[in-house]
Amino acid sequence: MKIWKSYGSEHSMNLVMIGSFKKEDDAEKVEEELRFLFEEIRSLDDSEVFRDRFSDDVKKLLYSKEIYCLMPQELEQFQYDHSFERDGKKIRYWTDEWDVSAALKIMLTGGAKVEIFSGDNYRESDVKE
């Protein structure tokens, strides 16, 4: 009999990320980029996603949308469960994952002021506008 001895973690972060933009057009562009990335990266074979370097196909995909801020190791994040919506100049993003650097970079590159907090500890109404 083998006994498994390893570290495990629970992925129920209930993370909330809110990006506030100066212009609604900027928020709309970032929303389109996020939708594009989540759809396209999920459709890729795992051998394209779990790499140390971007494949030529992934480079073409990212460059077609002028996305230059991501690292190859961050592509996996676009396969995680998430939800997001745009309401005017704001994008609200929810996930149970801790690792959200890719979506954060997309929002920041798009001109957002970003707030990140635990939905377990705060409600959005607790966060100052």
Going by the DSSP 8-state scheme, the letter that residue 88 receives in this structure is T
14-58 tens-digit pLDDT: 999 999 999 999 999 999 999 999 999 988 888 877 888 999 999
Q: H or E stretch including 85?
A: strand 83-87
79-124 tens-digit pLDDT: 888 999 999 999 999 999 999 999 999 999 999 999 999 998 988 7
**Cα(95)–Cα(29) distance, rounded to whole angstroms?**
21
Angle between helices 101-109 and 24-43 (to 10 degrees): 150
